[in-house]
Amino acid sequence: MSANLEKIKIRIDELRSQIERHNRKYHEEDAPEITDAEFDNLKTELKKLEKKYPELDSPDSPTHKVGGAARRDFAKVQHSVRMISLDNAFSKDDMRDFENRAKRALKITEIPWSYFAEYKMDGLAVELVYQSGTLVKASTRGDGAVGEDITANLLALPSIPKKLKKSVSFEARGEIFIEIDDFEKLNKKRVAEDEPAFANPRNAAAGSLRQLDPKITASRPLKIFCYGLGLPMDCKAQTQSELLEFFNEQGLPINSSSHVCKNLDDFLKFYDQTVKKRDKLPYQIDGVVAKINEFKFQEKLGTTSNHPRWAVAFKFEAPMAVTTLENIEVQVGRTGTLTPVAVLAPVNVGGVTVSSASLHNEDEIARLDVRIGDVVEIIRSGDVIPKVIGVREAERKNKKLREFKMPELCPSCGSKVLKEEEMVGRRCPNTTHCPAQVEGRLIHFASKDALNMEGVGPQWIAQFIHKKWVNLPSDFFSLTAEQLLTLDRMGEKLAAKIIGAIQSSRTTTLGRAIYGLGIPHIGETLAHKISEHLEDLPAFLKISREDLLHIEDVGEIVVDSLISFRREYADEIKKLHRLLTLEKKKKVSGPWSGMNFVLTGTLEQMTRSQAEKKIEELGGTCQSSVTKSTSVLIVGEDAGSKLDKAKKLGIEIWDEKKLLSKI
């Protein structure tokens, strides 16, 4: 692989793991860290790179998957019909493209259909299964194929009909949401009871729904609007508007603002009207969905692996506010990257006060042509992190503006910063002693996906560093409750909890330990992949350059980074070896013991990780690439080069149906 391609690959891996992480944060943990728009930007960048470098595309890329994976705490429910998501449109042109694509797919010149316009509710999709008029099962979307069983929770909710008007069977789909007033009341109550407030109504709805105690769900003001079908069974509707009528007749709540539109122009008018009244609605919506109304055309158009070809969500622009950029500060991350951050005069954006926003890097500052003192436009699309999107140049007259230059010296340690060729960012090279990097690394080591020291967050870590108790990861394990008790706002209970969390984090896996080291260019996925080839940390110190290069996805840049890191931190890694107990994945014996499996392409009925889990439960081993030792290759849709290689080597090939029947 050329050095340039390797750099692209690293960026692609980085984007994939960021997208997976934010997907998890949003869908599974109800705690988004970035705005929807920023999330869309990450996905767009990844899609572009995968299109430009098809050799780096992969069927398990998040661009080919639907959404969150099922949470562990609930029983799983396999949906009879996959719950896919909607594709997005961001402009009227995108809407016209959508219509043209449908026209081309059906090889027609005139449009024979009407559109059904529905609000895109900002909540959580659920499926309700009614049998002979009784609610028998309710589930979340999960990853689209398998969701969580939330029947008990929905049975406890007064707003969900348990019995229909008639003894009919069908699977209804809809959105669970919380109205804005109810959300504000709920948050006030939570704050008064010293519980963390929900970030927005969507997260409040998701958090309320996924309660293991149905009584808690029942006490939350959750509502539902139904808008779709799984298996139709007794439902004879032929159009989307008939479907909503049917739901209504059966007593299921529907959104009465929905509207039949003669054609696309009619839909666009409805969209414009909705934009105007959006702020006055009692609930949050983030767009208007256009659905081709007649089911016969929906069926003809079908779906891609992720989206229907007969519907699209025309998203709203994010709420915007205007304020003054008072300063630009530079933050130093754990790998030394310098990030400029806009310091803003506090301003309300879509209901939240914003006083800072990331400017990403100097290219972004140049692109925006933003100067200190400028009046800038800020967006915050429903969620957390705000973004500067533009400058009001007309307001520059008679203003003293200051151009911003990235510092030549690291603001944390004063070292001369490096600007690597072809890289947009700047980096502080003082890896070992730069206080900002030390702090970033320690926060990373303790974080959820690394050692997972619950309750050991950035505020506490900053204090531990200030007291000079910790400098390297291994120092965490020498902290004592007595020490902690000398800190402000620390009680005996909390000190015991923190020490307990630190000590129990010592039993971990090699993958988490390697990831926790925070080696530049080695993200979570790669750390776990590398760990599969190693016994323990001493082996990590010894593994040769050649052996590293044999590991899938490991190239020269990663190896250079790993080798220089382990050279510098060899003593610390040895110390961690003495302190940590590394658990091995337990090998299960079963009918497939001794058999090696490789998966390729997209599976329909289950996700790749579910398939791998199933194989391992039966004693099989999953490999990442086809070799002579592979026993079976499992192929999904769009299988790539692995299939060719398996054919060449004469390896047994199963499709998904065969895998399921064998399971």
In this structure, the number of other CB atoms found within 10 A of the CB of residue 424 comes to: 12
Interaction residues for ligand IVH, span 140-159 (CB under 6 A)? 141
If one asks whether residue 69 binds ligand IVH (CB under 6 A), the answer comes out as: no
CA 57/CA 12 separation, integer angstroms: 9
If one asks whether residue 98 binds ligand IVH (CB under 6 A), the answer comes out as: no
Least distance to ligand IVH, CB of residue 224, Å: 11
Cβ contact 125:141 at 8 Å = yes
163-167 contacts, C-beta under 8 A, 24 or more apart: 163/133, 163/134, 163/135, 163/251, 164/130, 164/133, 164/134, 164/250, 164/251, 164/252, 165/133, 165/249, 165/250, 165/251, 166/133, 166/250, 167/132, 167/133
Residue in 36, 143, 148, 175 binding ligand IVH, rule: CB under 6 A = 175
If one asks whether residue 113 binds ligand IVH (CB under 6 A), the answer comes out as: no
Of 9, 25, 43, 120, catalytic: 120
226 or 582: CB nearest ligand IVH: 226
Of 270-278, 308-316, 352-360, 483-491, the segment contacting ligand IVH by CB under 6 A is 308-316
77 or 125: CB nearest ligand IVH: 125
Least distance to ligand IVH, CB of residue 124, Å: 6
If one asks whether residue 206 binds ligand IVH (CB under 6 A), the answer comes out as: no
Cβ contact 356:347 at 8 Å = no
If one asks whether residue 382 binds ligand IVH (CB under 6 A), the answer comes out as: no
Residue in 229, 252, 289, 551 binding ligand IVH, rule: CB under 6 A = 289
| Bridging pattern class, strands 259-261 and 87-89 | unpaired
172 or 354: CB nearest ligand IVH: 172
- 585 carries an active-site annotation: no
Site pattern 70..89 for ligand IVH (x: CB under 6 A): --------------xxx---
Interaction residues for ligand IVH, span 544-563 (CB under 6 A)? none
In this structure, the number of other CB atoms found within 10 A of the CB of residue 126 comes to: 25
Residue in 170, 183, 227, 247 binding ligand IVH, rule: CB under 6 A = 227
Q: Which residues contact 474 (CB under 8 A, 6 or more apart)?
A: 572, 575, 576, 579
* Nearest in space to 544 (alpha carbons), one of 553, 432, 554: 554
CA 427/CA 521 separation, integer angstroms: 14
If one asks whether residue 171 binds ligand IVH (CB under 6 A), the answer comes out as: no
Of 96-104, 190-198, 203-211, 306-314, the segment contacting ligand IVH by CB under 6 A is 306-314
The number of residues in the chain equals 663
202 or 444: CB nearest ligand IVH: 202
Least distance to ligand IVH, CB of residue 608, Å: 21
Cα dihedral 517→521→525→528 (10° resolution):
-40
CA 563/CA 569 separation, integer angstroms: 10
One-letter amino acid at 20 equals E
Q: Which residues contact 151 (CB under 8 A, 6 or more apart)?
A: 135, 136, 137, 138, 139
If one asks whether residue 308 binds ligand IVH (CB under 6 A), the answer comes out as: yes
If one asks whether residue 27 binds ligand IVH (CB under 6 A), the answer comes out as: no
120 or 444: CB nearest ligand IVH: 120
| Residue 149 DSSP class | B
124 or 651: CB nearest ligand IVH: 124
Token pair 């039966």 in the structure block, residue = 618
6 or 87: CB nearest ligand IVH: 87
Sign (positive or negative) of CA dihedral 329, 335, 336, 339? negative
Residue in 62, 228, 440, 518 binding ligand IVH, rule: CB under 6 A = 228
If one asks whether residue 311 binds ligand IVH (CB under 6 A), the answer comes out as: yes
Active site residues: 120
Contacting residues toward ligand IVH, per CB under 6 A: 84-86, 118, 120-121, 125, 141, 175, 227-228, 289, 308, 311, 313
